[in-house]
Amino acid sequence: MGASLGALVFFVRGFAAMRAAAGGNRLSTVGLWTGTAGAIAVGVQFAIDMVVGFLSADRGAVDELFTQVQDIPGVLPAFYDFGPLLFFVGQLILVSQLAKRGVLKPWAPLLVLIDTTLPFADKDLIPLGAVLLLVSFAPLWRTREVAAEPPADAKVLV
């Protein structure tokens, strides 16, 4: 769970960097906050799943406790049905903005969309989706490395 929550934190940081690279316009800001809301929903879902697992002695107890938690009004839509989808919607908005600006390749949004839909076809395709994200986001890493290098004619203050 810790690794999953840590990954979500890094995604949110990445969303903020993507927003900045997209120029910080209104749509990229919507992408940042939509993706962040989705990340929070996914994080709460992870936490619920882990707590239910720790508190339950067997599979029957897990099912019973999940039923009790999910019967709380708003839990299912916010943390299981629709809330987590905001993570992917925000990500797609940001990637589309970056592709529009030429920061990412024009096909990057399509790869992100495919990554989003692969688990619905088969959970075993999740690693393929991760590779697609890596290919989509690789230019961001190179852009970051280039941006970190000072210009050759930069003056050094001592």
CA pair distance 31, 25, nearest whole angstrom: 10
pLDDT of residue 2: 72
- What's the pTM value of the predicted model, to 2 decimals? 0.81
- Predicted local confidence at residue 3, as pLDDT: 82
Residue-level pLDDT at 146: 44
Rounded Cα–Cα distance for residues 88 and 8 (Å): 12
- Report pLDDT for 144: 52
What's residue 154's pLDDT?
45
Contact (Cβ atoms closer than 8 angstroms) between residue 42 and residue 80? no
Contact 144, 14 (CB under 8 A): no
In order along its 158 residues, the chain shows pLDDT tens digits of 678 888 899 999 999 999 999 999 999 999 999 999 999 999 999 999 889 989 888 888 899 998 999 999 999 999 999 999 999 999 999 999 999 999 999 999 999 999 999 988 998 999 999 899 889 888 887 655 444 454 555 444 44
